[in-house]
Structure 1
């Protein structure tokens, strides 16, 4: 009786990427990162940590080069007219107390902003998850969509935070600093917000280079983890971005 040749039952699967490899591939070969996420490797603490560190860099730049008192004063100048009138009508002691709390509130708020960003990402994943699955026939899991958003965010948040901090250390004017749009990555960053139509400023802020890059990367990732064609990912991601942008511009116009 001849010996039977034993054939391998399946090809040995390649090991998953490390988080650092996924981070690098977001910039160099995003499809590899998202294919790895689809394979079940969904850890996203490293991109979140990178964002927190970059946020701390900008916070330090604001604290040393601008001061939170100036940030508060700049924000007061941008308040709607009715809010300015309400502040002017406050009794002197209440106004003084509000002005004393303002800088501290700004500093604490922006120190806690990574938590707000995490909540934002969780909500965005919760919106995109049913959109790509029920709207386009995808088969993505919520954790995969969240991981895509966290990794794709590396081309947005760290870049804007770092550029904002670098601009301040390079000598950007503190009186013109807008904490809501700190990086020179869109046309609005070069305009005086107080003298610009609010709806136009909101629109120009939304058309932001890292933001568009992030939307493209997110679209690719969502399509890969959901197992759908890339146009479906683009429609889902850019469609929601357009809705949110129109809402923000509408509120600014009002």
Structure 2
């Protein structure tokens, strides 16, 4: 009798390294997402990149603008919020500004946790959409990893934001909600433009659309569906959020 080597079932075959997956996300995204489908679901590299860039951005904003000025700028961009502040006593306004500044700083510092929660929620929505709506067979871990890599283009926007600040942007004109010239809203005056139109223009962001394309490709690949199904899942939810956001901005902006 001869010895037979039995290959264990369920093992994950060697795949791309995290750095290879990172590069392929920009140059050959299908390779990255196919690798994820094969069972390689490690996402720590993009997460670390997001955290490092996020805190670098926070440091530059804090040094060049300041958290209080960031909060004051947001109030100036909202006529209703500015009217409410004008009706308060000096003591009440100061207290309101302290709270607003603390919340702004807290959002920056809690960025990694917010990122993970947001990624989990989006992954659940995409998972339900692609599996129940289009007959896919994706797993949560695969969708979550796809999302982590698909958001990598946002790093370009963060780097652009840092560059804009270092180039000497006036602190009182800095808009934390639209800090880089990657969308139509960056070329409009947020005060003179209708709030709903400005929200819509800001949503038409080249970096966001790039990431949505990657989400569509990755979701379709890991779910084993048509590419069009992935696009409908990613762009469909985005379009809904854009419409709702523009409506809220028009009503309360």
Q: Same fold (TM over 0.5)?
A: yes
Q: How many Å apart are 1:14 and its aligned residue?
A: 5.3
Q: How many Å apart are 1:22 and its aligned residue?
A: 1.1
Aligned to 1:235: 232
Give per-residue Cα distances to partners, 1:95-118, cap 9 Å, x unaligned.
222234433432222222232222
Aligned partners of 2:211 and 2:45: how far apart in 1? 17
Are residues 1:77 and 2:76 paired? yes
Aligned partners of 2:233 and 2:107: how far apart in 1? 31
Runs of 4+ displaced beyond 4 Å: none
RMSD over aligned CA atoms reads: 2.2
Pair member with larger Rg? 1
Gapped regions of structure 2 (runs ≥ 5): none
Residues 55-74 of structure 1 mapped to structure 2, 5 A cutoff: 55-74=54-73
SS of residue matched to 1:154: coil
Are residues 1:136 and 2:134 paired? yes
Of 139, 149, 152 in structure 1, the residue corresponding to residue 150 of structure 2 is: 152
Of 194, 197, 201 in structure 1, the residue corresponding to residue 194 of structure 2 is: 197
Q: How many residues align?
A: 247
SS of residue matched to 1:75: helix
Gapped regions of structure 1 (runs ≥ 5): none
SS of residue matched to 1:193: coil
Change (3 A) 1:231 1:26: same
SS of residue matched to 1:90: coil
Are residues 1:185 and 2:177 paired? no
Aligned partners of 2:229 and 2:103: how far apart in 1? 42
Counterpart contact for 1:176–1:192, Cα < 8 Å: no
**Range moving further from structure 2, 184-193 or 126-135:** 184-193
Aligned to 1:121: 119
TM-score relative to the length of structure 2: 0.90
Q: How many Å apart are 1:236 and its aligned residue?
A: 1.2
Aligned partners of 2:165 and 2:158: how far apart in 1? 11
TM-score relative to the length of structure 1: 0.90
